Amino acid sequence: MAALLVVAGLTTAVTACSSGSQATSSASDGASQSAPASGSNSDSGVTVSGAFGSTPTVTIPSTAAPTQLTQKTLVQGSGAPVAAGDTLVANYVGQTWANKKVFDSSFSRGAPAGFVIGKGQVIPGWDKALVGKKIGSRVLLTIPPADGYGPNGNPQAGIKGTDTLVFVVDLVAAYKPDASAPGKPAAPLPSGWPKVSATPGKKPTISSVAGVKAPKKPISKLVVRGTGAPISPSKSLVLQMVQTDLATGKKTQATWGQAPQVVTASNVLQVASALSGQRVGSRVVVLLPATKGTPASGSTPAQPGNPASVLVVDVVGQF
Mean pLDDT in residue range 218-247: 95
Amino acid at 305: G
pLDDT of residue 296: 84
Which of 27-36, 74-83, 288-297 is predicted with the least confidence, judged by mean pLDDT?
Answer: 27-36
DSSP assigned state of 301: P
Sign of the Cα torsion 58, 63, 65, 70 reads negative
Mean pLDDT in residue range 139-150: 96
pLDDT digits (tens, 9 = 90+) for 171-214: 999 999 999 888 999 999 999 999 998 899 999 999 999 999 99
Mean pLDDT in residue range 130-146: 97
Mean pLDDT in residue range 255-260: 89
Q: How far is 177 from 25, CA to CA, in rounded Å?
A: 8
**Band (266; pLDDT cuts 50, 70, 90):** very high
Amino acid at 15: T
Share of the chain above pLDDT 90, in %: 75
Q: How far is 36 from 90, CA to CA, in rounded Å?
A: 18
Q: What is the 3-state secondary structure (H, E, C) of 54-96?
A: CCCEEECCCCCCCCCCEEEEEECCCCCECCCCCEEEEEEEEEE
Entry pTM: 0.78
Contact 125, 16 (CB under 8 A): no
Q: Across the chain, where does the E strand assignment appear?
A: 47-49, 57-59, 70-75, 87-96, 102-105, 113-116, 138-143, 165-175, 184-185, 195-196, 206-208, 219-225, 236-245, 251-254, 261-264, 283-288, 309-318
pLDDT digits (tens, 9 = 90+) for 24-55: 333 333 323 333 444 445 578 999 999 999 99
Sign of the Cα torsion 190, 194, 197, 202 reads negative
pLDDT of residue 41: 52
Does 231 score more than 70 pLDDT? yes
pLDDT of residue 175: 95
Q: Which residue has the higher pLDDT, 281 or 4?
A: 281
Contact 277, 226 (CB under 8 A): no
Euclidean distance between the first and the last CA atom of the chain, given in angstroms as a whole number: 22
Q: How far is 89 from 292, CA to CA, in rounded Å?
A: 34
Domains and CATH numbers, the chain: 26-175 (3.10.50.40), 184-292+302-318 (3.10.50.40)
Give bridge partners of residue 18 from the DSSP assignment: 122
Q: How far is 186 from 183, CA to CA, in rounded Å?
A: 9
Mean pLDDT in residue range 162-170: 97
